[in-house]
Amino acid sequence: MATSEEELFASVDALLEEEPQLPPPAERARLREAAGITQARLAAAMKTSTQSIKNWENGRSEPKEPRLSAYRRLLDGWAGKHPAPGAASIPAPAPAAESPSATVPRASTGRTAPVDPAREITEAVEVPAVSVAPESPAGRPATSSRRPAPKKTAGPALDPRFPHGPLAVLDGDGSAYGVDGIVLDCPARTIPELVEWTLKESGLGAPKLHRNGKDSDPLIVLTAAAAVKLGLPERLEGHEQRRSLRLSADHAVVKQVAKAKWQLTQRGFGPWARIYRKAQAGQRQCVQLALPSWDALDERSWPGVADMEPADIARVLGVYAQRVITPRGSTAVSGLELMTALRPPTKAVQDRATGNWVSGHNPGSLGTDPMDPAPPEATAEHPVVVNSGWSGGFLNEEAYQWVRDVDLLSDEECTLPYAVGLDLNTAFLAAAARLVVGLSAPDYFHTPAFNPKIPGSWRVDLSHVELDPRLPSPFTPDGSRPTGPAWYQTHTVAYAQELGYNVAPVEAYLRRETGAYLDPWHDRLKTAYVDTLADLGVTKDLDDRQFLAAMERHKQAAPVMAAVLAAIKATVKGGVGKLRERPQGKSYKAGERWPALQRPTWRPDIRAAVISKARVNMHRKLSNMARMTGLFPLAVLSDCVVYPSPGESPLDFLPYAASGKPQPGGFRLGPTPGLAKLEGVQTMLWAVDLMEQGLNPARHIKGGDAVLDEGE
C-alpha cells in the first residue's frame, strides 16, 4: 500500500516526541564505572544528589526532563567509548541541536535561560578517551583527576558534609530546588519520609558559625502544591493572630509525625515547623519546615518572595542563609538566633579533677540561664514588677517620634519649596557597633557617681538641660523636655554630660560584668548588608550623585537581591525587638511568666542600650547640622528625618567642604550602616499641612501614605 510523505513524516515526528529511552539500570552503572566517574561526581554535574544517581542505577527511579535527555546523551557518549563485551563499537552521536524549551537556573539572577542541558552535562563530565595510564614510580597506574574546575560563586565554599547547601524548596513534582541552581529528586510522600530523606540523603545543612556553636539544621520550604501532596492543607486559616496558626493535634499529619517517633516543638505544626528527635552520638536530628502559603515568608520582611518560583525562592533564602543564617522562623527569630549562633553560651572545658571534657560557660556570651531584669528595665506585666509592687517608673528608651511645633517655623523656612526626607541605613545596627552591654545580673546602688563606661539604668533629673526648642530633646522619644527625675540608660545620661551638664544619679541598677556582646552580630549583618547593596549596584566607590542615582533604581536591578536586602534590614529591627518580646494571647494575666522569659536573650536592658545610642547618634547629627548649616528638622521618626530644602535633592542642603567632600559630624550619604539615603521628597506646603494636623511628615514622606519601618 502506498504511503504518502506526510504520513511518514507524521510517524517520524511521533517517534521524536516520545521520551528518550535509557539503557537498563545495570548498563547505566557499567558505563559510568567504565568511564571512571564516581556517583558523587556525576551527581554534581547533573545538579542532583548522589542518592538520585544510585536510584537511577538500581531502577528505583528515573530522571525527569531536562535531566532525562542529558543523561541519555551522556550514556550514549560513554557507550561509544566503552561498548559492552562482544558488542561492536559505534561512534558517539553528534551533539544535538539546542532545544529552545530546555532551561536551567542562572545563578546571577535566579531566572531561567535557554541552554542545552545535555551539552552542559557532557562538558562538565568529560567522556574520557580509552588510554593507558602511565606507570607511577611504585609500579601502579598513576591517577589523574578529571574533576572539572569548581564553579566560582558569591557564597562561601560548601562544607563537604553539606554538599547541596543549607536549604531546598520542594515543589509538587518532587523536585527540590537548592542553592546555585542545584535540583534534587525527593521521593518522599509523607512528612516523616521527607524528614528522613532530608537528614539521610539530601546533603542539606550548614556548618556552625562559631567553633563552639552548632551546625544549622536543614530547611525545607514547601510550596503550596508540595504541602497538598504531603497531606497538608494548602492554606491554614481560622485564627485571629498569625502566630497562633497551627495544625490541630488530631490532624493526620501530626499523628504521622508522632507515630514515626518524631517530635514537634511546643509551637506545634505551624508556618515554621521544627521536627526533631533527641541527638544521637552528638548528632542533631532536626529539620525545619517553612510553608509560604501559610504566611511563613511575611510580605513585610520578604517582599514578593512567597509568590516567586521555587528556584527564585531558593535563591533568595540561600543567599540570606549564606550571608546571615539559615532561617529558623521570622526574620526577628533569625536575628535573635544569629546572636546566639555567633556567641554560643557554652564551650568545652576540661575538668581539672577528672580530666574529662565538660560543658562550661563561654566568656562574652549571655550563658544558658535566663536572667531577670532590674524592675525599671522590665515591663509593667513582668513578675519582678508585679510581685514586688514596684512603682518607681520604667526606662523609656524608644526611637524618636517627634514633630516640631509649627509656631517655631520661620518665614524663611516656610518659603522653601521642598521637604526632603533622609533615612539612616540600619541605624540600630550602626548603634550596636562596639556597644558595651551588661553580661551579669543587675546590682542596686544608691546615689552612685555616674560612670559612662558602666552599662545600666540610672535615675537622674535631666529637666535642667536647656536645648534649642527647634530640636527634639535627646532624652525622650517624643522630644519633649523632661519634667523631673526619670530612668535612663547609660548612653542617654552620658550624652547630657557630653553637652556640658552636671548629672547626679539618685539611684542605679548596674552590671559588673560587661562586654561587646553584639559585635559579631553587627559585623556579620553589616557585611551582609553592604555586600547585598553592592550586588544591586550600590557600592562604596560611588560619589554622592552616583549613589543617589544607584539607590533610585536598585530595587529594580534584581528583585531577588532586593528581597534579600529587605530581609537583612528586617533581621536587624526584629532581632533588637525580640530582646524585649512581650506576652501574647488574650488569656495572659499580669505577673505570669511567658515563654520568652525562659531565653537568656530576653534582655530589655540590651535593647534599651541599642535604642538609646541610636537616638543619641541622631540628636548629635541634628545638632551638628544646625551648627553647620543653620537648618533645623521638621520631624523625626526613628531613623528618618525631614528637612526643609531649596531643592529636591539632599545635595541641596547637606554640608560640603570647599573640596567637595562631606563635612564630618552631619548627615552623610553612603551605603554603609549609619550613613544616609534619600527617603522621599514632598512639597513644603504638604509637610506644613501635616504638621498642623498633628501628623508626622517623616511617616509619610515616601508618598502613598507609606509608613516607615521603625528601626530599619
User: What secondary structure does DSSP assign to 199-242, as a single string?
Assistant: HHTS---B--SSTTS-PBPPEEEEPHHHHHHTT--SS----SSG
Alpha carbon distance 458, 158 (integer Å): 48
Indicate the SS3 state at residue 586.
coil
Q: And the C-alpha cell for 159?
A: 562544607
Residue 83 makes CB contacts below 8 A (sequence gap 6+) with 89, 90
Q: What is the DSSP letter of 184?
A: E
At which residue does the C-alpha cell 508626622 appear? 696
What's residue 17's pLDDT?
Answer: 53
Among 72, 64, 61, CA closest to 22: 72
**Residue 539 has what pLDDT?**
95
As a whole number of angstroms, the distance between CA 606 and CA 627 comes to: 32
Q: Radius of gyration (Cα) for the chain, nearest Å?
A: 31
Residue 584 has a pLDDT of 87
Q: Which of 349, 365, 443 is nearest to 600 (CA)?
A: 365
The helix-helix angle for 544-557 and 559-578 (nearest 10°) equals 100
CA distance 160 to 182: 15
Query: What pLDDT shows up at residue 573?
Result: 97
Q: Are 203 and 40 in contact, with CB atoms under 8 Å apart?
A: no
Helix (H) or strand (E) holding 643: strand 640-645
**What pLDDT was estimated at residue 88?**
47
| Low pLDDT (below 50) residues in the chain | 88-156, 239-241, 708-712
The answer to whether the beta carbons of residues 451 and 460 sit under 8 Å apart is no
- What CA–CA distances, in Å, run from 397 to 443, 446, 501? 20, 22, 20
Phi, psi (5° rounding) for residue 511?
A: -120, 135
Q: Are β-strands 283-290 and 219-222 bridged in parallel, bridged antiparallel, or unpaired?
A: parallel
For 394, the grid coordinates are 520604667
Contact assessment for residue 181 and residue 105, using Cβ atoms and an 8 Å cutoff: yes
The pTM assigned to this predicted structure is: 0.80
Closest CA to 438 of 424, 457, 422: 457
Most distant CA atoms of the chain, gap in Å: 114
**CB environment 455-492: b (16+ within 10 A), e (fewer):** bbbbbbebeebebeebbbbbbbbebeebeebbbbbbbb
- 443 pairs with which residues across the strands? 510
Cα(335)–Cα(315) distance, integer angstroms: 20
Distance CA 29, CA 27 (A): 5
List of domains in the chain? 25-93+116-124 (1.10.260), 167-329 (no CATH), 375-398+436-515 (no CATH)
Q: How far apart are CA 339 and CA 574, in angstroms?
A: 12
**Cis preceding linkage at 66, omega within 30:** yes
| Residue 179 near residue 318, CB atoms below 8 Å | yes
User: Quick one: cell of 101?
Assistant: 524549551
Please name the residues in contact with 233: beta carbons below 8 A apart, sequence gap of 6 or more. Answer: 227
Strands of the sheet with 485-489, listed across from one edge:
442-446, 507-511, 456-461, 485-489
φ/ψ region of 172 (left if φ > 0, alpha if ψ in -120 to 50, else beta) reads alpha
